[in-house]
Chain A
Amino acid sequence: MAFVLTHLNYFVAFLLMVIGLWAIISSSNLIKKLIGLSIFQVSVLLMYISIGKVEGGAIPLLTEKAVLYSNPVPHVLMLTAIVVGVSTLAVGLALVVSIKKTYGTIEEKEILEINEAEEIRSENFARKHE
């Protein structure tokens, strides 16, 4: 139990990761998939920031009082990762908008049905003219 409490950050990060993956796999709604993807990416941010914390370390600003500092590098890395996450979400949402425009739905099952029906129809059409 003590192990879990001292490593709580990592357990939470792992839990978020699995929740995110589950949301991506289980939901048929494309927006929900994107939400799952965001949760999945955010879990990594939490993991990295936990890596940076040094026990008893001060915030990484040069002062005379502090002897030990936390590691600022993971934070800097995660700033970039946040930007990446935001842009991925933006591209994803833009795609969902155009999917909604062309298909009229954002439910994956319905889209697959439409695709399949169309594929069969066009193949039959081509075969007929063979």
Chain B
Amino acid sequence: MQISELIPFIVILPLLSSPICAIINSGKVSWSISLLAVFVTFILSILFILHISGVEAISYPIGGWKPPIGIEYRLDQLNGFFLFIISFLTLISIIYAKTLTNAEIEGEKHGMFYSVFLLCFAGFLGITITNDLFNIYVFTEISSLAAYTLISHGTSKRSLISSFEYLILGTIGATFILIGIGFLYLSTGSLNISDIAERIKSIENAITIKTSLAFITLGLILKIGVFPVYAWVIRAYTYAPSFITAFLSSVGGSIWVYLFIKLTFIMYGWSYVFDVLPLKIVLEILGVGGIIVGSFGVLYQQNMKSLFAYSGLLNISYIIIAIAIASESSTSAAMLHTFNHAIIKIGLFIAVGYFIISTGKYRLFEMAGISRVMPYTTLMFTICLMSLMGFPGTAGFLSKLFLLKAALQESEWVIVFFMLTGFLISIFYTWRIFHTFYIKQPFILTSSKNVKGKYYALTALFIAAVMNIVFGLNTDFSYSLASQAAAYILE
């Protein structure tokens, strides 16, 4: 059996498991089905990664209609890497989900909840694997609609209003992307990304192409949650169920970064976007703005989920800046940091969610002295925290080093200054959390209750913490994949 025949299954599998979960509608069975589907997807993504190195791309025409007429699923160095990230992180979050849904979601809704989660997952995989622009839009909407539903199930009633806000802005973002696709179709007459990349070369300077780039960039900036339009993402992550926060902040963030890289580098051509058009300076300004706002956020927030959502903004800003610099070292650093940041964030949000359900506290000052109540969980949390800070020997250190190196190579002194400021501030706020957890006098109300099925959450946290060390000490795997992808998109 050829590997290309397996390509569509990576989307079909979660998509088909979703209605099964909904029909069975039992928490335990639906969770097992989801776990199985995500696990098989993970195995598939590893298979893909093994087969893709050294090959240009593997293409699968849907329904036998050859591209550019038909829809094409295309596996290349770039999306092979991102498929691995997504399925790996989703595997961690689905293990974690067992504990959290028991604690946060009403019993009769579990089956439906997993069903919608699988839809969201299938949408993300679809965005990654497809090579057809309109398909990307449809998958974007599938995953986003599922995400709105998932967010609205938070324990606080504010989750409803943040989900509504997410719906409005997410739809505006997706519609902007759709308008951009329309302009591209208008001027090239094609929807296949590789085909458009060929056709666009002769008409690069047409006003429609520029307009389409403007709309698509605007839509993706909204979706990623870059500096001026980040508040809705922060609120959604703060009030969503903890499992969904862990899932969306790591997986969702990577997806939109991937889509932005794919469209700007492969479709429009990176030299056109970042050298001919002034997108580089625009993105750098947005990134610097994000670093400033994110730094204030992480220093002053008391709500733990909100705090790490701001730290997500900070890290996304580094990634956006690195993408805008568009050299080989900076793009590989951007992709490596996307991967490492996702692992860090999933670990942190898993730990925070676990703290919240076992103590009922969600503010930083309320968690004072928590290390005495839950020493092992706090230890694993601290490993992820050190990785976020960029402590040598953890995953976060290396990608931050590469980001800084890439900025230095291009002599972008302003960027270097702001990046260093951001890194310094990350030392301050991680220290603040560390100090509260370990040194401060215990808060009187801090006591933990025994959570039902807590070992699932702890396993997930353990995997995340170990991965932070593994990818920190041994970078061969992640760095070679990221640099392969960078070399591929800069061709």
Within B138-180, the residues touching A (CB, 8 Å) are 138, 141, 145, 148-149, 152, 157-158, 160-161, 163-164, 167-168, 171-172, 175, 178-179
Tell me how far the C-beta of A72 lies from the nearest C-beta in chain B, rounded to whole angstroms.
Answer: 13
The reply to whether A81 and B178 contact each other, CB–CB distance below 8 Å, is yes
**Are the C-beta atoms of A80 and B186 separated by less than 8 Å?**
no
A91 contacts B172, C-beta separation under 8 Å: no
Contact of A48 with B157 in the complex, beta carbons under 8 Å: no
A55 contacts B by Cβ under 8 Å: no
Question: Are B152 and A98 neighbours in the complex by a CB distance under 8 Å?
Answer: yes
Residues of chain A within 8 A (CB-CB) of B302 are 123
- Are the C-beta atoms of B160 and A98 separated by less than 8 Å? yes
Inter-chain contacts of A65 with B (CB < 8 A) = none
Question: Which residues in window 102-130 of A have CB below 8 A to B?
Answer: 102-103, 111, 115, 123, 126-127, 129-130
Main secondary structure of the interface of A (DSSP, over half): helix
For residue B445, CB closer than 8 A to chain A, the reply is yes
Are B168 and A51 in contact, with the CB atoms below 8 A? Answer: no
Q: Interface residue tally of chain B, by bracket?
A: 20 to 34
Is there a chain A Cβ closer than 8 Å to B185's Cβ?
yes
Closest B residue, CB atoms, query A84? B141
Is A74 within 8 A of B445, CB to CB?
no
Q: Does A47 contact B (CB under 8 A)?
A: yes
Say yes or no: is A8 at the interface (Cβ < 8 Å to chain B): no
A99 at interface, CB cutoff 8 A: yes
With contacts A37-B171, A95-B164 taken as known, whether A74 is within 8 angstroms of B185 at the C-beta atoms is yes
Asked if B363 is an interface residue, CB under 8 A from chain A, the answer is yes
Q: Is the pair A126, B167 in contact by a Cβ cutoff of 8 Å?
A: no
B444 contacts A129, C-beta separation under 8 Å = yes
- Specify which chain B residues have a CB less than 8 angstroms from the CB of A103 in the assembled complex: 157, 160-161
CB distance A88 to B363 under 8 Å?
no
How far, in whole Å, are A126 and B363 apart by their CA atoms in the complex? 9
A91-B145 contact in complex given A33-B168, A84-B138, C-beta closer than 8 Å: yes
- Whether A24 contacts B168 in the complex (CB less than 8 A), given A84-B141, A95-B160, comes out as yes
Chain A residues closer than 8 Å to B445, beta-carbon distance: 129
Smallest Cβ distance from A113 to chain B, in angstroms?
12
Name A87's contact: one of B145, B158, B175 (CB within 8 Å): B145
Q: Check B444 against A95 for contact (C-beta < 8 Å).
A: no
Which residues of A have CB within 8 Å of B444? 129
CB contact between B182 and one of A33, A51, A80 (< 8 Å): that residue: A51
Contact among B163, B172, B361 with A40 in the assembled complex (CB-CB below 8 Å): B172
Q: When chains A and B are docked, how far (Å) is the Cα of A5 from the Cα of B148? A: 41
Considering the complex, which residues of chain A in the window 8-28 have a beta carbon less than 8 Å from any beta carbon of chain B? Answer: 21, 24
B residues apposed to A, CB below 8 Å = 134, 137-138, 141, 145, 148-149, 152, 157-158, 160-161, 163-164, 167-168, 171-172, 175, 178-179, 182, 185-186, 191, 302, 361, 363, 365-366, 443-445
| 10 closest A-B pairs by CB | A84-B141, A102-B157, A95-B164, A99-B160, A51-B186, A48-B182, A88-B171, A92-B167, A77-B134, A44-B178
28 CB contacts below 8 A, A to B, read A21-B172, A37-B171, A40-B172, A44-B182, A47-B179, A51-B182, A51-B185, A51-B186, A73-B185, A74-B182, A80-B138, A87-B141, A88-B141, A91-B149, A91-B167, A92-B164, A92-B167, A95-B163, A95-B164, A95-B167, A98-B152, A98-B160, A99-B164, A102-B160, A115-B161, A126-B361, A127-B365, A129-B445
